[in-house]
Structure 1
Amino acid sequence: MTPHKPALLFLAGMTVLVAVMLTMLSAGGFAPLGVLGALWSGSFGSWYSITSATLVRSIPLMLTGGAVAVAFRAGVFNIGAEGQLLAGAAAATAVALALPHGGMATTVLALLAGAAAGSAWAGVAALLRARFGVLEVISTIMLNFVALHVVSFLVRGPLQEPTHTYPQTASIVDAVHLPRLPGAGRLHAGIALALLVLAFGGWGLRRTASGFRLLVAGESRAAAASAGMMNVERTIWGAFLC
């Protein structure tokens, strides 16, 4: 793949996306340019929109995208990032609510619990693939819906807010939140953490032996196994659990 091909593919995809969206808006009787203008204004129209709307919401997408990239590198079509994100969010929230006075220690524990729960949820699909040959495309998509229903149960049951009026958890105390960046509205230190994780992950995939093994396994598991380079099953597990 040429150095510019990913960028060209991205631009082509965005062009097709915008064209389809404009067509659907027109067919629905809406003003396409007005909708695009509102979308642009809400996402990039002001410093607050950029920091408190776009960047804040991009943080979990950056991390889940990075996790999926690792799996794809190994030829594992993990389509369950949404379910894994929900599982991690539920675990992190449970820890944060159970230890509201722990300050930064609670924050760290919540982040670790979220990462562990997300990996465990992916591990279900990995187990199904490794032991029973279930295609991960099918199992991970189905697990997305399972995770959605589990979270729905939690916010109406064990984790529901004290008045039991709304299907949501109680608010997490400010002391457990990641610190906000000065002058950046709701944008918090999670953006720096996400960028560091992505940078480290990209370096690991391109510059380490483990990253090379993932690439070889993704290109041809049979060739990798016959060359004695690795335990392919273990590599698949690693790709899922990342």
Structure 2
Amino acid sequence: MKNSEHLLATRRFLPMFLTQFFGALNDNVYKQALLLVITYGWIQQQAAEISTLNNLAALLFILPYFIFSATAGQLADKYERSQLVRLLKIAEILIMLIGAAGFLLGNLWLLLLALFLMGTHSTFFGPIKYAILPEILKPDELMSGNALFQSGTSMAILIGMILGGAVISASQGNLLWISIAVLVIACLGYLSSRCILKQEVTSPQIQIDWNFFRTSLQTLKYAKSLPVIFLILLGNSWYWFYGATYL
């Protein structure tokens, strides 16, 4: 407990923790709000069934993880990570501007586009945040640091779902408030990213393979050659699959 409190008070860890927290929070505020406005029929162009649109939204958010994750890992190794994080946080603000426009105009396709882009943003942020941890933490801090990261993510998911629902419920169809909420959270994430310490570039010689599917298959083959790692990946994937299916 003391070690965790110590980490949250350090410049090494706190900005990255907050950046991760606000990113996961915004993902879930936006996603929950979108699902609710679809369910309540508050946006135009809802020609399909509500359940179909909700499932389409879930698919669009998860799809970038499947397509881009391996390439995102290469980028995290090739370039300086704190700068990458800041660029991604600027991208998040731009994406939320698209989402806000979708809410205010009642345009389903803009909202779904922003959701897909948010999934893409999170896909590219994921490898960076976990690659940074071993760089900013001492070996005896890694366990606590990982625990805090995972706890923060889970809390952000829960709070984001509640907050997204609360804002939609309180606004009574006025989608200006949810637009403001997601933009404010995106800006908070960018401000916290400004305090992340500069990181060493670990593998500048890496050649980025933009064939996303080939890179993903190569990564899976490599993981399968490491039985313990492969089982951990399967277990972690099952956890998130089960959670997403239940929700």
TM-score (norm 1): 0.32
Larger C-alpha radius of gyration, 1 or 2? 1
Greater RCO between the two (CA within 8 Å, min separation 6)? 2
TM-score (norm 2): 0.31
Return the structure number with greater helix share: 2
